[in-house]
Amino acid sequence: MANKVTVLDTNRALKNKRIKSQVGKILAKVFIYIILILMYAPIVYIAVFSFTKHPTTGMWNGFSFGNYINLFKPGNVESAKIWDAAKNTALVALTAASISTILGTLGAIGIYYTRKKWIRNAMDFVTQIPVVNAEIVTAVSLCVLFVICSKFMPRSFFTLVIGHVVLSIPYVVMSVEPKLEQMDPSLYEAAMDLGATQTKALWKVVIPDIVPGILSGFLLSITLSLDDYVITAFTKPTSGNFNTISTYVDSAMKKSGVPTQFRAFTAILLAVVLLVVVLMNVMSSRKQKITLKKEKNKND
């Protein structure tokens, strides 16, 4: 009898525990999604008001596709500026991220395999500088450099790319280094013993192993470059009205306000971002299914 009671008690306790953890799970999910919604809310808000032509965001004077029509109208001066800035932003991000990825990956490999400890420590320290340094200090220091070297290195697209490489290269190094640590060190030696040259061993053995790190470094570089304003403002070309999206918006704010078709442009960007979100989800769930299948096959 006493036994039965305890069994019942345990059952009840287990049930309670399960309900509690279920509630906890739901609350956790709700919390995460609320924060996510808040993160996207300002962009969604702009996107909503892209469908009205009222000059101030937040005021509505009738539904219209006017902003979109203006954005794609060939002769529109402001729209041309927006597209020009968008092109520049993409170009800088891709160029800077490519350079960062190549230099940073080689740097990470070099730092990891250096035999002298002081070199490794010194390089690790230098890598940390742009990360911990305030962006404005990095920006003005580069600006001062380009002023001094203005004879042979005037402010141009090139200096802007250098600025963005400085910004993102530490993150490439920091993404690649852990992958090198996970690597089996004997593989490289084995490749060499089997007759591979150093370059070949590097290409065929080391690089394939650290590809995930390189990729995440590249993506981080792109992200940082797209999100940057301060370094861009201090290293961008001074002549010829060169703008990226961030400097364009800032200068438009200081003059007559951001034109209404920029809201349409933001909405398109949001659509692109959401598309990437969906794609990522689809790809990851597919991957999960494949791994699940594999595990099942193994178990069978």
Q: Within positions 38 to 67, which residues make up the interface with another protein, using CB under 8 A?
A: 38-43, 45-46, 56-58
User: In the bound complex, what is the minimum distance in angstroms from residue 4's beta carbon to another protein?
Assistant: 25
In single-letter form, the type of residue at position 230 comes to V
Q: Are 173 and 127 in contact (CB under 8 A)?
A: yes
Q: Binding to another protein by residue 106, rule CB under 8 A?
A: yes
Cβ closer to another protein: 9 or 189? 189
Of the pair 74, 267, the CB lying nearest another protein is at 267
CB of 7 to another protein, least distance (A): 20
265 CB contacts (<8 Å, ≥6 apart)?
71, 82, 86
276 lines the binding site for another protein (CB under 8 A): yes
Shortest gap between Cβ of 55 and another protein (angstroms)?
12
Cα separation, 264 vs 70, in Å, equals 9
Footprint on residues 108-137 left by another protein (CB under 8 A):
108-115, 119, 123, 126-127, 129-137
Among residues 19, 32, 211, 290, which is the contact residue for another protein, using CB under 8 A? 32
Q: Does 88 bind another protein (CB under 8 A)?
A: no
* Segment lying near another protein (by CB under 8 A), choices 1-9, 72-80, 162-170, 289-297: 162-170
- 180-239 residues near another protein, rule: CB under 8 A: 188, 192, 198-199, 202, 206, 220, 223-224, 226-230, 234
Q: Does 277 bind another protein (CB under 8 A)?
A: yes
Contacts within 8 Å (CB) and 24+ apart, 218-221: 218/97, 218/98, 218/100, 218/101, 218/172, 220/168, 220/171, 220/172, 220/175, 221/93, 221/96, 221/97, 221/100, 221/101, 221/164, 221/168, 221/169, 221/171, 221/172
What sign does the CA torsion over 267, 268, 273, 275 have? positive
Q: How many residues bind another protein (CB under 8 A)?
A: 99
